[in-house]
Amino acid sequence: MASQLAADRFTAHQPNTGVFEGRTEEMGDADAALAIKLQAQEDEAFARALAEREARPHLGVNGPQLSVNHPQLGVNHQTESSPIANPGVGKSDAKAMMGCKPTVNALCAIFTCLTLTFIAAAVMLVIIFAGNGGDNDGRNGRIGGANAADDRVASARPFLAPNDMTSGRPFLTPHALLQCPTNATLTTSSMTCTKYDAVVASVTSIFNSLSNVCTASFCPQADFGGCVLRLAGHDFMDFSGGKGGADACLDMNDADNAGLAACLHTSNEHGVSLAPAYHQHCSDVSLADFLVIAGEAVMTLTRASVLEDNRAAAPLDFRSRFRYGRTTATTCDFARGRLPDPETCSDVQRVFVDSLGLQWSDAAALMGVHTLGRARVENSGYDGWWSDPENSRRFNNNYFVAMLAKGWSPERAVGGNPGKNQWTRSDDGATHQRDRASKEMMLNSDLCLAFDENGADLDARTQNCCAWVSADNFAAVISNNGGEFCGSNQIPRGNGRQRNQCCQGQTGNNDCGNENSPAGRAAGAIRHFAENEAAWIVAFQRAWTGVTQNGFGDLKPACSA
């Protein structure tokens, strides 16, 4: 989670990533699909505006101005004051606006023609410069058309804050994208257990429509669940200094949030999104409360798969802990830059410990959401599963188990991007050399919780060590991994042979810290959660409750049982 709540996707169905993934540098097909959808929405808004103009011919030059976003220009025009922007204005009307009477002389006609020609030339310059600017949006690699589509929708929708601009792009919020069919409530005024259950049921219906088949290349429940949790996490992780938190406000145009539109509203996440579920409750449940409940629903559903196999496993209980009354924020220009950078462990401290107010053990517990979903280069810039595919659709402690029961070596410049570096599974069980879709990985911000290197935080970009633990000292963890140690049920004797099994292809015999006693920032908590899943469930629910309530001091309980 140190920088992610999940999302990433393939081309056909656009799966979304792992969970609290932070900064992203590239955008892919999911964003292209979003651009197409936004273009269609903008075209529809433009058509409605023109229809309204034609339906109200009595509006003159001094009548109320109707803001219309021209579909070809990507800029706003006031239809009642610009003859070019308003195709309903006739020639005589245009001349009247220029100061000529309908019965004009030749000089007036020439003057009018020259003026209109000058305006048209200015508009062409706008088109040229807008196109060039879009093509060179270097931070996230999006094409100019995608940028223009988003910008046109922003100017066509009055509920977008037009001045909240960063890097030349409008601040686009979930509230702006999820238009309630009725009047959306910004603050939930009342809620009962029955209402909470109804929201959960709506999300459950969407989740259960997905196939439960899970392979390395196709695992829709893991992808959707990871995306929803990443969405909720990116929402509450911007809390700092009393501002932000779980207020349903994050910038969907920010590269850090690439891919989240897929499960929020575009239905590019295996053909489904949260939008239909939200629309069923938006008149009396705020979007801020809804996103928290949606995250809880997904975790409960994916925990059910664990309970089916092991009735003694600890259940989740979000229902009795939930507090309602969060207010949806319609703008939050301060949010950009607050998400943790997965390249550094110091950002885990900045966000989770310093800003969200967690202890390191609870920060580690919250990172356990990475057990759901995966990372995709086209969204986050990273590549792989935190657990094996099947465990990535189950809300369990496999994230912690995998961290210790498998071997990890640095992978630099993921996807050719030198700013994206990760730790890739390097033991006998690694299969990504034969099947790229099966790659398992950890981020710096994950692995630094368990391991260090000569007293320093792990850094895949600069360090050449192998992260692994001695089987002799971690028997309980290996037992929770089905008896498998570094890809095999055959555990060799002696640290030398065990290292060879965990660190294939890793030369130099350099270990990340002490394999007998790792000393990462939360090493004790990582081991405890890997050995005792029930302890992790308790710590996770405590941490989740805290971070989803930050910034809201007057929340009320929806249920007591």
pLDDT in tens, 50-86: 444 444 333 333 333 333 333 333 333 333 333 323 3
What pLDDT is recorded for position 335? 87
What pLDDT is recorded for position 400? 98
What pLDDT is recorded for position 465? 95
What pLDDT is recorded for position 245? 97
Residue 21: CB partners within 8 Å, gap ≥ 6? Answer: 3, 4, 5, 6, 7, 230, 342, 375, 379, 380, 382, 443
Q: What is the mean pLDDT of the chain?
A: 78
How many CB atoms within 10 Å of residue 127?
A: 14
Q: How many CA atoms lie within 13 A of 445 on its CB side?
A: 29
pLDDT at position 90 over 80: no
Higher pLDDT, 375 or 120: 375
pLDDT band of 269, cuts 50, 70, 90: confident
pLDDT at position 262 over 70: yes
User: For the chain, what percent of residues have pLDDT higher than 70?
Assistant: 69
Give the helix ranges, DSSP H, for 310-442: 346-348, 360-366, 398-405
What pLDDT is recorded for position 560? 63
What pLDDT is recorded for position 20? 55
Higher pLDDT, 509 or 184: 184
What pLDDT is recorded for position 119? 52
Higher pLDDT, 144 or 289: 289
Residue 272: strand pairing partners? 269
What pLDDT is recorded for position 192? 96
pLDDT at position 197 over 70: yes
Q: For 5-59, how does the pLDDT look when each residue is reduced to its tens digit (9 = 90+)?
A: 434 433 334 444 444 554 433 334 444 444 455 445 545 544 444 444 444 333 3
- The continuous run of DSSP H or E covering 342 comes out as none
What average pLDDT score do residues 129-145 get?
Answer: 34
Higher pLDDT, 558 or 170: 558
* Dihedral, CA of residue 234, residue 403, residue 211 and residue 255, to nearest 10: 30
What average pLDDT score do residues 136-155 get?
Answer: 31
pLDDT at position 133 over 90: no
pTM over 0.75: no
pLDDT at position 229 over 70: yes
Residue 408 in contact with residue 469, Cβ under 8 Å?
no
How big is the chain, counted in residues?
561
Residue 413 in contact with residue 474, Cβ under 8 Å?
no
Residue 456: strand pairing partners? 453
Nearest Cα neighbor of 3 from 252, 370, 295, 457 is 370
What average pLDDT score do residues 230-249 get?
Answer: 96
Q: For 276-312, how does the pLDDT look when each residue is reduced to its tens digit (9 = 90+)?
A: 999 999 999 999 999 999 999 999 999 999 999 999 9
Q: What are the residue ranges spanned by the domains of the chain?
A: 91-129, 182-557
Q: For 433-474, how does the pLDDT look when each residue is reduced to its tens digit (9 = 90+)?
A: 889 999 999 999 999 999 999 999 999 999 999 999 999 999
What average pLDDT score do residues 502-527 get?
Answer: 91
What pLDDT is recorded for position 64? 34
Q: How big is the chain by its Cα radius of gyration, in Å?
A: 27
Residue 63: CB partners within 8 Å, gap ≥ 6? Answer: 56, 80
pLDDT band of 163, cuts 50, 70, 90: very low
What pLDDT is recorded for position 519? 97
DSSP state for residue 367 in the 8-state scheme? G
